[in-house]
Structure 1
Amino acid sequence: MDLLMPAERVLYDRAYYLSDEAEKDYAFEVAEEHGVDVGEVLYSDELMKEVRDALDRDIDLYLDDEIANFDSMLRELKCGDDPEHPAEISVVAMGSVGRWDVPSRGLVAANSLRDLIDGKGSADALVDCQIDRIVDTNGTFSIEASHHDGTAYLDVRLISGVSFDGKGFRLGGERYAPGKMDLDDFHILLGNLYDVSDVGPCSLPHFAERAYGAAQESYRFGETVFDIYCETSGTDRPYKVMVSAGETVGKDAGTRFASAEEAKAWCYRYSMRELADEEKKPVPGKAASAAKKAAGCSAGDGTGDAGAIKL
């Protein structure tokens, strides 16, 4: 049975660049550059070398791009224009590192995502690791990595009022040398702050939303995807839902909501109607037509009210 689940937004996937799918995708690009058929590329040692060279380049280039874009977002937040985040803001990550003997859990703080990954924060959580995936799920930012005898997983958040460098850390505007507060106590303090999501000094990054204009929240039910956006237009109902199903992509639900929770509840009701309809997943236009029939309205073609989807 399908359930309404948060939809991952994969920002980087190392496995893609090692796959047959990527090789074919890049072969099409090389074919277009040379004005030849893709079959000619696939059977040409010289042209396939171009394909593999491009894959070898991009497997690290696109990872570096995501890290740089995250840190660019962080620098903008440090300007102090966002009241949720004062200028003194860092990244903090909690997670687990699995080694051959025993997995360990911990927390690391750093002044940037690049510092976190390069081991220049309060601890080197990703020592000897390669980054496998970076995923944004409704504002969370997770890093999945691996090494020769295990894996690592980090959940990255933003934390205000704390910064860390080689001289120690700054907390609440006061600098503490490493000996003034034990680093373990510092990590305990950060751990307490870390658990307060979107309240106080610790918050979700919402990187895909801030950097790329992606939906604030996304959910999936089978093949149907619901994207929830917040429109900052001063209205008391700023949230909207865009529905993608089948060949229909990004169809406006036609209703505005007062909160993301209210919008998600609408997505759930929409999904439950699909589930009740003999496990079918209708495209939004047909779903709207069926809903109008159930309400005793004229069926039409499901595109009335400017194509809005209604329950």
Structure 2
Amino acid sequence: MEPKPKERIVFDEDSYYGDEGEEMAINDLMERDGLTEDEVREDFTDDEIFNHQMEMKDFDYEEEMRALAAFFNGEKSDMSDFVNPYGGNHILVSGSVGRWNGTSTGIAVYKDFDAATDCSPSRFGQGNVFADCEIQKVWDENGTLYLAGAHHDGRVSVEMRQLTDEGERLWGQLDYEDYLPLEGLTAMGKHYELGDENRFVHDLYNSPELCAAPRYVEQSFGCPSEEYEKEEGTLPHDFTTGKWRVHLIYPGERYGLDGCLTYELNAYSGVPAAAHRASYPLVEFYDTSQDAARFPGGQFVSRYYMTDLLEDDSIAVSIDTMLKNGNQFSLDGGIPAWTVEGDDLAKVNDFLKKSCMEFCGSLPGDEKGEDGYSLSGEAKDATASRNGLSRNQMGIEEKAAECKEAATVLANGNAL
């Protein structure tokens, strides 16, 4: 699957509505007037807070559009000191316009950004693509600039590019900026006659050396040239250090011999501490020093809840504490070789923390639920968790037996 480019938002009116917009307005009023949130809610009615949301929306829209206009004009703005080398050249807009009588597509050429984003009524007959519209969203995807708007009976979605200096010189050869010369024009490896204007504009638009994507957020604000959305399947799963391969299993994923088990809450859902543990990944350890032909990914050694490796409680001691005390991590007390220690243990700890932050946004013990629950220091819940796991042990062992998984399933010394 092709990675999806990340939307780098320039302006999005949706963010000014709903809970997100209200929170934004309240925070702005708190900062502006030196108030607490409770004081804002006491001093301002809901309507006044909503009106402030709309004022912020209008202000931000004007500010962002002025900055874009300055960019396309080759000027500095209040938001960036970058000067676009193609500033002042014509702008080409490609996209679709939806109206009551259907959707039309095509490419239009404008002298500048203000003309390209003119939202004045269509009755004025100016041919502006955003006629009768309210521009609702502007964003960048890997250098490509998109704008979207809506009017009473349809939507407009376009991509915007700007002529390079070479493209501008070529465009200057047209008569009245509308018609090809009477004698025709040879360009882009083709010859165009009077009447070929539509084909000429399309070919011009699709020639990067003549008509370039703006790369607005990259050039004006130093953003990466390319950014992609994180796909669900890109979460880290494996890490190897020394002879150890660490494998993560996320909730909902399959595991065990031939994937015969599914990691889910099951019987744990009624026990807060157990549900807490089962909402984080499982961690498996494999010994890769064993016969590679027999164990291609390493020999399975043990499996743990991630919380038991990252959080100190009445059930387990975290790897942090092991490292602090200079202790080893014995995966199987009966096999001394199955012990992780020193630099390998520190690297495993770092991998688990980074993976946990990427998946959950916090480490175990950092978060509290709506009921104030936290596993740290909650001996009662920890005991309930242990009992819950014991009650569920037989079911899992039966499944494991059916799958002929000849391995000990551990949770930092406690059967899973």
TM (norm. structure 1) is: 0.62
User: Matched residues in 2 for 1:158 and 1:179: separation?
Assistant: 17
Question: Which residue is 2:20 aligned to?
Answer: 21
Give, as a single letter, the amino acid of the residue that structure 2 aligns with 1:52: F
Partner of 1:102: 102
Q: Deviations 1:21-78 (Å, cap 9, x if unpaired)?
A: 11122112213433333123224346x5653343222222222222222222223389
Equivalent residues of 1:140, 1:205 under 8 A apart = yes
The CA distance in 1 between the partners of 2:10 and 2:3, in whole Å, is 22
Task: Assess if the C-alpha contact under 8 Å between 1:119 and 1:126 holds in 2.
Answer: yes
Between 53-62 and 150-159, report the one with greater CA deviation.
53-62
Residue segments in structure 2 that go unaligned for 5+ positions in a row: 77-81, 182-193, 240-246, 252-285, 290-296, 298-341, 356-416
Q: Which has the larger radius of gyration?
A: 2
Aligned ranges 1:1-311 → 2 under 5 Å: 4-45=3-44, 48=46, 51-76=49-74, 89-118=89-118, 123-160=127-164, 161=166, 171-174=170-173, 176-177=175-176, 180-181=179-180, 185-196=196-207, 199-222=208-231, 271=234, 274=237, 280=250, 298-299=343-344, 300-301=346-347
Unaligned regions of 5+ residues in structure 1, if any? 164-169, 225-270, 282-289
Pairwise CA distance, 1:86: 5.6
Q: Using the TM superposition, give the Cα deviation of residue 188 of structure 1 relative to its aligned residue in structure 2, in angstroms.
A: 2.7
CA RMSD, Structure 1 to Structure 2 (Å) = 4.3
CA distance in 1, matches of 2:129, 2:159: 12
The one-letter code sitting in structure 1 at the alignment partner of 2:108 is V
| Cα distance in 2, alignment partners of residues 85 and 37 from structure 1 | 46
The count of aligned residue pairs is: 239
Q: Do the aligned residues in 2 keep the contact of 1:130 with 1:145 (CA within 8 Å)?
A: yes
Q: Percent identity?
A: 22
Higher strand proportion, which one? 1
The verdict on how the C-alpha distance between 1:30 and 1:119 changes in structure 2, with shifts beyond 3 A counting, is: closer
Q: Which segment is superposed worse, 28-37 or 15-24?
A: 28-37
Instruction: Give CA deviations for 1:226-248 in whole Å, capped at 9, x if unaligned.
Output: xxxxxxxxxxxxxxxxxxxxxxx
Query: Does 1 or 2 have the higher relative contact order (CA < 8 Å, sep 6+)?
Result: 1
Q: 1:68 to 1:109 in 2, by over 3 A?
A: same
- Cα deviation for residue 272 of structure 1 reads 7.7
**Is the CA contact 1:3–1:221 (under 8 Å) kept in the aligned structure 2?**
no
User: What is the deviation of 1:204?
Assistant: 1.1
Contact 1:74–1:112 (CA under 8 A) maintained in structure 2: yes
Structure 1 counterpart SS, 2:28:
helix
CA-CA distance at 1:142 after TM superposition: 0.5
C-alpha change, 1:64 and 1:128, in structure 2 (3 Å) is same
- Deviation readout 1:208-227 (Å, 9 max, x if unpaired): 11111111110122479xxx
Is the CA contact 2:94–2:160 (under 8 Å) kept in the aligned structure 1?
yes
The residue identity in structure 2 corresponding to 1:195 is N
Specify the code of the residue in structure 2 equivalent to 1:60: D
The alpha-carbon deviation at position 179 of structure 1 amounts to 6.8
Shift of 1:12: 0.7
